[in-house]
Structure 1
Amino acid sequence: CCPRRIRRILDKNIKFHRMCAYMIVLMTLIHYFAHSFNVDFFTSAYTSKILVTDSNSVIQRKRLVARLIQIGNAPNETYLNPIRSNVVGTFYHFSVGAVFLLTGGWTGVIITLSLFFMVTSSVEFIRRSYFEVFWFTHHLFIVFYGFLVVHGISMQVRGQTAASLLVHDPKRCSLINPALWPQNNCPTPVFAGSAPMTWKWVIAPMVLYVIERIIRLVRFNQQVEILKVIKHPSRVIEIQMRKKGFNAEVGQYVFIMCPQLSQLEWHPFTLTSAPEEDYCSVHVRIVGDWTTGLSKVLGADESGNEVLPSWKMPKLAIDGPFGTASEDVFNYPVAICVGSGIGVTPFASLLKSVWYKNLNPEHEMVLKKVYFFWICPETHAFEWFGDLLAYLERQLAEIGRQDLIEYHIYLTRGWDHKQAKTIYAHEEDSRDVITGLEQKTNYGRPNWDEIFSKTAQSHPNTHVGVFFCGVAALSAKLHKMSNKHSGSGVSFHYNKENF
């Protein structure tokens, strides 16, 4: 739909969202402290008294303040100070309390509290361990925008009107004793607040949000047929589904909602099925309350229950699919795909689609070579994805395209002394002792500098797409390597899945 550079920028939408959030927090803090000083000045104006030790300039300033806070008490006068009475000795005497006298004050407190809860619940620990807390508190944005619209409705930030400035010069009149204003051609100034403008800025995104919710409601009511649920090792279940009119590309993701668990919660899952298959599938790792509940209603929990037949399956709703960086993989002659732990899921769809496309001799692919790296922290993490790799290994051998996908598996930790002995004893076997694949497992971490250097030498004058899904630390490393080894005709284009 648009050039590659633009698509890569759009793929950073979550990072852009966070940058906007940080700026909103910064501007909110500046706005809050600035108005705290205003409110304190408004309240303390009533306690200002002239002392015998005051200089003439201080006396004039205090007289001016005393006169300005009185303007608005007489008929047909407009006020400047929004706090209209002396609150000394009450709760409202302090700026913290005085804000509740102002519409902009108490709405500002609600807005700031909403923002506080949204930001604090967005930290990675909360998102990963308590997704429901993150999801619900993030919807406080409705409260945030709702009160933001009425935040300035009472027009408390006030100034002298343009017409009043023509007859009352503030520079000249501020030097005159306010009691002598009528004799010195200084009529009582007229003040007014600016009309609320926030609604003009938020109406468009609010309308877009309502439209998006309507579309999601329509998608929710579309029937999703659950074809099969497969229990994999390592607390992973595979759900195969079919939905009329559903079309997806490699690596895309969907939001899934189960009304039996919650009518509000939508959780993102990467599609592991290829576009060429007549169904869509996701692999769900059971790690939290919602995924545990989903496995139970599907009959695929740890209690040993049999998976329910399709006609007994609960209702599921699918929203999507939504695009990711992996869609661009077929636009590069060479691709380096790196999955870390469960981050390998987007590449399940990709690898299967590569095989399907090679079954069609009339389809000429731009993609000629895939280097796939899977980094796992423990041995049992291989179990569910290893079956797919073994299947692809056999299928590519049958069509004589073993060279199309070159995969490398790295086990970074998780083996004990006994397992180390077993690994050493089977070193000469034709298949790997852990995965059962022909490609042997590497132990330790990849030498990315060497890997990128060899790729650049093997594919001169080539655009190489680097695709990654996994932990942030490895993402930064791969991004650095892509920039370091780009040059002399070879360009590495880094793409990261935003999860």
Structure 2
Amino acid sequence: MKIFSESFEFIRRRIFLISWISLVVYIFYSTFIFYLQGRQFYYLRQVLGIGLCISRGTATVLNLSSALVLLPLCKKLNLLLYRLLSGLCPGVFFFWLEKAKSFHMTVAVTLVLFAVIHSVSHFVNLWNFSRGYDEERSEINFANYKNQNPLFLLMSQAGLTGVSMLLIILSMGLTSLRAVRRRLYNAFWYTHQLYILFLVLLIIHPLSGVLKEEVIDDDESLSSHVKHLTNTSSNVPHKFVSIKSHTWLWMAFPLSCFSMDLLWRIFSRNRARVNILQVTYMAGRTMSLTLSCPERFSCRAGQYVLLQCLDVSLLEWHPFTVVKIPESSQSDFFIWIRVKGDWTEALERLLLDRGPAGLNVFIDGPFSSPMEGVADCPVAMCVAAGVGITPFVALLRNMLTNPKTHFPGRIHLLWIVRHEEEITWLADLATKTMLRLRDSNRPDRLHIELYVTNTKDNSNARQNEENIHIVTFNEKQGVTHMKREFTEDEKATLLTPNKKRNGYVAKGVNNEGSNVGEYSIAKEYPLLGCRVRRGRPHWDRVFGYWVHLYPQAHLHLYCCGPKKLVKLLRNKCKYISGTTKTKFTFVHEGFS
């Protein structure tokens, strides 16, 4: 019984992947059998062998994958669907938003895999066309004569388009690897712009008519076919025509949707030029940009926009969550940008050198995000790391403005930062929100936990303090000598009276350019100081507290952070849901 329940749970968790693999296997197998047993392909099979069936089966899967991989990229259509379906079935729509990225990646992996298999099978087919030249039925041949060099066959329209598509899809697949994408994002971006060229070549590729089928009209052709199978002669002439390409049928609907979405976004971008009204530099090398709103710009908490700076790149658009959504009395909104990578570093240099007024900035959006579901939850668990706090900042502003609204009912916000000074991003807003909720008799509506992972500075400070005093004991454990030794920093301070000792010793600069050391958030924001903990969260205790607090409840855990954190929390949610009566639904947002 236990084995059965574990198997059922595994199938339930992997139902999407199992369904996709089943669909791919069914399509490949049905096409493979069709070309293996089809009477009209008998003479073509005699030349190409099993390579014909493999190439045609993989071609069908490629058509399906090339069509479906576009659907998650239709951002404007997804936004339109959200506006239409959010009131009717919001759960289904947010499930699609949550699974859109994984769906795109799954289809893309299938596309790369079957593209390689399809190419290998066609390379074998070129060899068979050369070695298996049919002298009796010359129409069916692709080669001009027997034992023709297959490289000359590769120089044809079908060969050149096929090799070009293989190179494009391999370059897209290699640059999509996380290790490559994080270091060479520009290569990832520009190779993915070749996908439109890939689709054009995909439609042109089968139009050359290399593969031919026999035209079977009546019973006379059937008897002729039977005679050939029994090695008897027949004088009935054979007529061959090129196999009709149905690639355009596969691509018609998704390509139309993608084209409409692309045109819609291009025309809206032309009206979406914005001005950078203010730039604020925050701790941890993070910038807060205040942008003017374009025409007809409306945004919800959790949505994001795409930002383009023409002075940095003419093609690149980068996603950023809207931190402060525009209100009726204001015509601006905020985004936070962590300077990490070549594009953000170039933007930072331009802002410092030329100022915000001299930059050409465009936005596209806003677009729907799975994080919008937090605003409709009676109880929401929110976990963020670093700049991943951005989807939840707008929620805090909403709770500050409307402290007595029913949704979100209660938020458990857990934020992990590297240095304590990064808490200042949210300190003022969080303090005001907690005070406002307390005055509105709703203090339990917001529960915040803050974790500071970098404890090296504090440990070094304690070590320096321990080395300041040297105490010597005699044999009877009595104190005989006490000496206070100055550190190198203190010696420098004493030699420079104009500098304050405390400020000189406490302040330091980390490798990211932010001041670290003995800074304490409790001095400026005591209401948050008691919520700060050192080190990383003990997740078993955190989940145990949630299970104890909400027994037999169905909770949503919203996470925005690095991949390791996302993987850990996803596994924790699965484990807790399988071992307790409290169920967790994991919702993740990530742009990298």
Mark yes or no: TM-score above 0.5: yes
Q: Which residue of 1 aligns with 2:141?
A: 81
2:162 aligned residue: 108
In structure 1, the residue corresponding to 2:340 is in which secondary structure? coil
Look up the SS of the partner of 1:186 in the other structure. coil
Going from structure 1 to structure 2, the CA distance change for 1:292 and 1:23 (only over 3 Å counts) comes to same
Q: Report how far residue 384 of structure 1 moved.
A: 3.1
How far apart are the structure 2 equivalents of 1:366 and 1:387?
Answer: 23
Amino acid at match of 2:283: P
Question: Which residue is 1:407 aligned to?
Answer: 448
Q: Which moved more, 1:162-171 or 1:253-262?
A: 162-171
| Alignment partner, residue 159 of structure 1 | 213
Quote the residue 1:57 is aligned against.
none
Q: Is residue 453 from structure 1 mapped to residue 502 from structure 2 by the alignment? A: no
Structure 2 counterparts to residues 19-98 of structure 1, below 5 A: 19-45=106-132, 68-72=134-138, 79-86=139-146, 88=148, 93=149, 95=150, 97-98=151-152
**2:255 counterpart of 1:206:** yes
For residues 119 and 377 of structure 1, what CA distance do their matches in structure 2 show?
A: 32
| Greater CA drift, 411-420 or 246-255 | 411-420
Check if 1:483 corresponds to 2:483.
no
Match of 1:497 in 2: 589
Superposed counterparts of 1:68-467, under 5 Å: 68-72=134-138, 79-86=139-146, 88=148, 93=149, 95=150, 97-163=151-217, 166-167=220-221, 169-173=224-228, 175-176=230-231, 181=233, 185-222=234-271, 223-241=273-291, 242-274=293-325, 276=327, 278=330, 279-297=332-350, 299=351, 301=352, 307-308=355-356, 312-358=357-403, 361=404, 364-397=405-438, 399=440, 401-416=442-457, 417-420=459-462, 432=522, 437-467=528-558
* Residue 380 of structure 1: how far off its partner (Å): 4.9
Aligned equivalents of 1:423 and 1:467: distance in 2?
A: 41
In structure 1, how many angstroms separate the alpha carbons of the residues matched to 2:248 and 2:315?
27
* Runs of 4+ residues deviating >6 angstroms: 421-424, 433-436
Classify 1:285/1:209 alpha carbon distance in 2 versus 1 (closer, same or farther; 3 Å): same
Q: CA deviation at 1:330?
A: 2.5
Q: Distance in 1 between matches of 2:183 and 2:430?
A: 30
What's the CA shift for 1:448? 1.8
Change in CA separation of 1:430 and 1:498 when aligned onto 2, cut-off 3 Å: closer
Please identify which structure carries the higher helix content: 2
* Cα distance in structure 2, aligned partners of 1:411 and 1:431: 11
Amino acid at match of 2:409: K
**TM-aligned CA distance change 1:404 to 1:412, over 3 Å:** same
Cα deviation for residue 232 of structure 1 reads 1.7
Which of the residues 87, 94, 102 maps onto 1:15?
102
Query: In 1, are the aligned partners of 2:410 and 2:445 still within 8 Å (CA)?
Result: yes
Structure 1 unpaired stretches of 5+: 47-67, 73-78
| Partner AA of 2:301 in structure 1 | V
Counterpart-to-counterpart distance in 1, 2:288 and 2:441: 29
Quick check: 2:323–2:394 contact (8 Å CA) kept in 1?
A: yes
Any idea what SS the aligned residue of 2:132 has? Answer: helix
Identity percentage of aligned residues: 26
Is the CA contact (8 Å cut-off) linking 1:465 and 1:493 kept in structure 2? yes
Deviation at 1:488, TM superposition (A): 6.8
Match of 1:65?
none
Kindly provide the amino acid, as one letter, of the partner of residue 38 in structure 1.
N
CA shift, 1:292, in A, is 2.1
| Cα deviation, residue 37, structure 1 | 1.9
> Aligned letter for 2:303?
Q
- Give the conservation status (yes or no) of the 8 Å contact 1:256–1:269: yes
The whole-number CA distance in structure 2 between the counterparts of 1:275 and 1:220 is 19
- Structure 2 distance, partners of 1:249, 1:422, is 49
**CA pair 419-200 structure 1, distance change in 2 beyond 3 A:** farther
Counterpart-to-counterpart distance in 2, 1:430 and 1:218:
49
Q: For 1:341, give the aligned amino acid.
A: G
CA separation of 1:13/1:213 partners in 2, compared to 1, >3 Å: closer, same or farther? same
User: Are the equivalent residues in 1 in contact too, given 2:157–2:205 (CA < 8 A)?
Assistant: yes
2:349 is paired with a residue of what secondary structure? Answer: helix
Paired residue type of 1:330: A
Structure 1 residues 319 and 484, CA gap change in structure 2 (3 angstroms): same
Deviations 1:458-484 (A, max 9, x none): 234543221000122222222233233
Secondary structure in structure 2 of the residue aligned to 1:251: coil
TM-score, length basis structure 2: 0.69
- Structure 1 counterpart SS, 2:456: coil
Separation of aligned partners in 2, 1:378 and 1:172: 83
What TM-score, normalized by structure 1, do the two folds share?
0.81
1:372, distance to aligned residue in structure 2 (A): 0.8
Q: Which sections of structure 2, spanning at least 5 residues, go unmatched?
A: 1-85, 467-505, 507-518
Give the Å deviation of 1:289.
Answer: 2.3
Asked whether the 8 Å contact 2:420–2:521 carries over to 1, the reply is no
Query: Deviation digits for residues 14-35 of structure 1, max 9, x if unmatched?
Result: 1000111111122212222222
**Aligned residue pair count:** 445
Spell out, residue by residue over 1:288-317, the C-alpha distance to the aligned partner (whole angstroms, 9 max, x if none): 2221222233x3x3xxx6954xxx342321
Q: Residue type matched to 1:432 in 2?
A: A
